[in-house]
């Protein structure tokens, strides 16, 4: 999601977050929020959907994304064990077994003699408010983590919402763009910015205040 100040970008991101909060319980969806500006997402501090407090320290942001990659790999192993292709299939299988009073046990339990039964897993949505700040502080590492999540995490139920005021090529790199096809452009300041986010011009002519492509 890209757009200059006053374009409606933050309102758009908040609308996405609120629609998830109204439609899903914390058992269904958990959120990780990364907010370099310390202003936009801090209003959500304390909601039950958060997996961790809102991250404002950019050094901790890399840790949060690393945790997401590890969680993704763990979920892939569990889905392989359950013989399903995605998180929805995994949760459906757990529910069907529960209805028959059966259980699927964790094959990777730390106590293999007494493994704990597997439970339904929530979807995880990672929301980054000012992605440019994150790239400036820990660029290469963040780029690799985001690319890995964008490539593989959808089947594991982990999704990304990245927002930035500056859609330049050093922020939205080719690697990130190649792996995140769905994009929203609010009003941007130049044709170059429009081409960076959308691969075509037009977003510079939008009206602002929510007008988007």
Between CA 107 and CA 114, with CA 108 as vertex, the angle to 5 degrees is: 70
Cβ 164 vs Cβ 132: under 8 Å: yes
Q: Is 108 exposed, middle or buried (0-12, 13-18, 19+ CB in 10 A)?
A: exposed
Residue numbers in the known binding site for ATP are 3-10
| Strand ranges across the sheet with 123-128 | 29-34, 123-128, 158-162
State the binding site: 3-10
Angle separating helix axes 87-99 and 58-82, nearest 10 degrees: 50
Max distance between CA atoms of the chain, in angstroms, equals: 64
DSSP-assigned states of every residue in 140-166: HHHHHHHHHHHHHTTTTTEEEEE-BS-
């Amino acid at each position: 999601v890209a757009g200059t100040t006053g374009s409606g970008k933050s309102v758009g991101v908040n609308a996405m977050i609120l629609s998830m909060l109204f439609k899903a319980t914390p058992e269904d969806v958990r959120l990780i929020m990364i907010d370099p500006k310390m202003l936009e997402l801090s209003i959500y501090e304390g909601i039950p959907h958060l997996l961790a407090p809102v991250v404002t320290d950019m050094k901790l942001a890399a840790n949060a994304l690393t945790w997401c990659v590890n969680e993704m790999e763990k979920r892939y192993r569990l889905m392989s064990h359950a013989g399903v292709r995605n998180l929805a299939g995994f949760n459906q299988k757990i529910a069907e077994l529960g209805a028959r009073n059966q259980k699927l046990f964790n094959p990777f339990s730390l106590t293999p003699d007494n493994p704990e039964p597997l439970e339904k897993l929530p979807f995880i949505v990672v929301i980054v408010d000012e992605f440019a700040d994150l790239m400036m502080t820990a660029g290469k590492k963040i780029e690799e983590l985001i690319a890995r999540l964008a490539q593989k995490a959808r089947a594991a139920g982990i999704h990304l919402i990245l927002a930035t005021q500056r859609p330049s090529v050093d922020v939205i790199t080719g690697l990130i763009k190649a792996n995140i096809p769905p994009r929203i452009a609010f009003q941007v300041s130049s044709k170059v910015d429009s081409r960076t986010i959308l691969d075509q011009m037009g977003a510079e002519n939008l009206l602002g205040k929510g007008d988007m492509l």
